[in-house]
Structure 1
Amino acid sequence: MRSPSRITSAAVAFAAALATLGLSACGSDGSDPAEVADASDFDAVVEAANKEGKLSLYTNLAIGYEEVIAEFNKEYPDIEVEAFVGKDADILARVEQEQMSNAAGADVVWVSSSQFFKAQGDGVLHELTELPSAALWDGSPYFHDTYMQVLQFPAVLEYNKNVTDPPTDYPDLLDPKYKGKIGTVDPTLTPNLVAFNNYLKEKYGADYLEKLGELGIKFYDSGPSIEAALQSGEIDVAAYASALGAENGIRSGAPVAYNPAPETPVTNASAGALQSADHPNAALVWMNWILSKEGQDAMVATQPEGVFVSTLDTEAKVYLLKPEELSPEEWPKVGAEQKKEMGGN
Structure 2
Amino acid sequence: MKLSRMISVLAVIATVAVVAPACGSGGGQESTLAGSWDEIVAAANDEGSVTIYSNHAPANLEALKTAFESEYPGISLTYVRGTDSDLTPKVEVENQTGNGVADVHMTTDAGWIHRSLESGGYSVEVVAPAIDEPEYRAADGVLDDTFFVTSATSIGLAWNTANVPAGLASPEDLLDPRFDGKVGVVNPAGFPAVVHIYRRMDVDYGEGFVDRLAGVNPRIYGSAPAITQALASGEIWAAPGASMDVLAERDKGAPVDFALPANPIGIPFYSHVLAAAPNPNAGQVLADFMLTPAGQAALSENYIAALPGIAGTGVDGSEVVAQDIELADPETLETTAVEEYVASWEQRFVG
Structure 2 CA distance for partners of 1:34 and 1:207, relative to 1, 3 Å? closer
Task: Say which is worse superposed, 317-326 or 61-70, in terms of deviation.
Answer: 317-326
The residue identity in structure 2 corresponding to 1:173 is L
| Secondary structure of 1:67's aligned partner | helix
**Mapping of residues 84-163 of structure 1, within 5 Å:** 84-96=80-92, 105-120=101-116, 121-128=119-126, 130-136=127-133, 140-144=139-143, 145-163=145-163
Alpha-carbon separation, structure 2, partners of 1:198 and 1:178: 22
The residue identity in structure 2 corresponding to 1:81 is L
The residue identity in structure 1 corresponding to 2:257 is A
Bigger relative contact order (CA 8 A; separation at least 6):
1
Using the size of structure 2 for normalisation, the TM-score is 0.71
Q: 1:293 offset after TM fit, Å? A: 5.9
Structure 1 runs not aligned, ≥5 long: 1-29
Matched, 1:48 2:47: no
Contact between 1:191 and 1:332, CA under 8 Å: does it hold in 2?
yes
Q: 1:184 offset after TM fit, Å? A: 3.4
Q: Which residue of 1 aligns with 2:54?
A: 59
Task: Say which is worse superposed, 177-186 or 193-202, in terms of deviation.
Answer: 177-186
Number of aligned residue pairs: give it.
Answer: 308
Alpha-carbon separation, structure 1, partners of 2:153 and 2:131: 22
Alpha-carbon separation, structure 2, partners of 1:102 and 1:181: 53
What CA RMSD, in Å, does the superposition of the two structures yield over aligned residues? 3.7
Using the size of structure 1 for normalisation, the TM-score is 0.72
Structure 2 CA distance for partners of 1:69 and 1:229, relative to 1, 3 Å? farther
Q: Choose between structure 1 and 2: higher helix proportion.
A: 2
Q: Which residue of 2 aligns with 1:247?
A: 247
Q: Which residue of 2 aligns with 1:283?
A: 283
Structure 2 CA distance for partners of 1:228 and 1:235, relative to 1, 3 Å? same
Q: Which residue of 2 aligns with 1:170?
A: 171
Contact between 1:309 and 1:316, CA under 8 Å: does it hold in 2?
no
Q: 1:170 offset after TM fit, Å? A: 0.9
Structure 2 CA distance for partners of 1:65 and 1:333, relative to 1, 3 Å? same
Q: Which residue of 1 aligns with 2:349?
A: 343
Q: 1:148 offset after TM fit, Å? A: 0.8
The residue identity in structure 1 corresponding to 2:68 is F
Alpha-carbon separation, structure 1, partners of 2:270 and 2:188: 19
Q: Which residue of 1 aligns with 2:220?
A: 218
Task: Say which is worse superposed, 134-143 or 281-290, in terms of deviation.
Answer: 134-143
**1:24-71 deviations in whole A, cap 9, x for unaligned?**
xxxxxx951266643542233323333333332222222533333333
Alpha-carbon separation, structure 2, partners of 1:80 and 1:225: 36
**Mapping of residues 172-187 of structure 1, within 5 Å:** 172-187=173-188
Alpha-carbon separation, structure 2, partners of 1:269 and 1:201: 23
Contact between 2:104 and 2:271, CA under 8 Å: does it hold in 1?
yes
**Mapping of residues 264-283 of structure 1, within 5 Å:** 264-283=264-283
Alpha-carbon separation, structure 2, partners of 1:213 and 1:124: 42
Structure 2 runs not aligned, ≥5 long: 1-23, 310-317
The residue identity in structure 1 corresponding to 2:141 is Y
| Secondary structure of 2:141's aligned partner | coil
Q: 1:288 offset after TM fit, Å? A: 1.8
Give 1 or 2 for the bigger CA radius of gyration: 2
